[in-house]
Amino acid sequence: MSTLIFLGIVVVALIYAISLYNHLVNVKHAVAKAWANIDVLLKQRHDELPKLVEVCKQYKQFEQETLQRVIAARSQVQSARESQDIGALGRAEGALRAGLGSIFAVAEAYPELKANEHFMQLQTRITSLENGISDRRELYNEAVNINNVQIEVFPASLIARSFGFGEKPLLEFSSAEKADVDIKTLFS
């Protein structure tokens, strides 16, 4: 009788351990899926930015320094995206968003550019992608938070350590991006 009780306890513990393992696998894949969703939008925006820069270059007086900052930031985002370096991506995203904000603000001084249908379509498309990235970032960070909590709670932490489940980094942007926009500097 005691052998049956012992075997019952072992079977229940084994089923529970398998269930925890499967849960951790699901959580890990939720993080990967959330990252893939961000990656798709980053790639789409990456493809749209050269078109925007090219339209702006057609207006010879358009601030070349602003365009160069966007081009450099685009390269940094692409590099961080390809290497899946979440910290570098956050910093590069801050620089890119600041550059895009500058382009859209400076465009106010160029009525012909603002009236350009292609520019307006690109601006709308990029703004839409930016909103999508923000939404996906929130979902990614939620998936990361669930992952990081699950690998720390007991008894799941035992399974997580045994099978190499690790902590994932949050996608955070620089403090400069979180700060209020200084409207004066955009128009000076």
Chain segment 67-119, per-residue pLDDT in tens: 888 889 999 999 998 898 888 888 888 889 888 888 888 888 778 877 788 88
Beta-carbon count within 10 A of 146 CB: 15
End-to-end CA distance of the chain: 86
Task: Report pLDDT for 60.
Answer: 63
Task: Report pLDDT for 174.
Answer: 63
Tell me the pLDDT of the chain (188 aa) as tens digits: 889 999 999 999 999 999 999 999 999 999 999 999 999 999 999 998 888 888 887 776 677 888 888 889 999 999 998 898 888 888 888 889 888 888 888 888 778 877 788 888 888 999 999 999 989 999 999 999 999 999 999 999 999 999 999 999 998 876 554 444 444 444 44
Task: Report pLDDT for 181.
Answer: 44
Please say whether the dihedral angle defined by the alpha carbons of residues 99, 101, 107 and 113, taken in this order, is positive or negative: positive
Domain ranges of the chain: 23-186
Confirm or reject CATH 3.30.9.10 for domain 23-186, answering yes or no: no
Provide the whole-model pTM.
Answer: 0.76
* Residue among 78, 69, 76, 75 nearest 42 (CA): 78
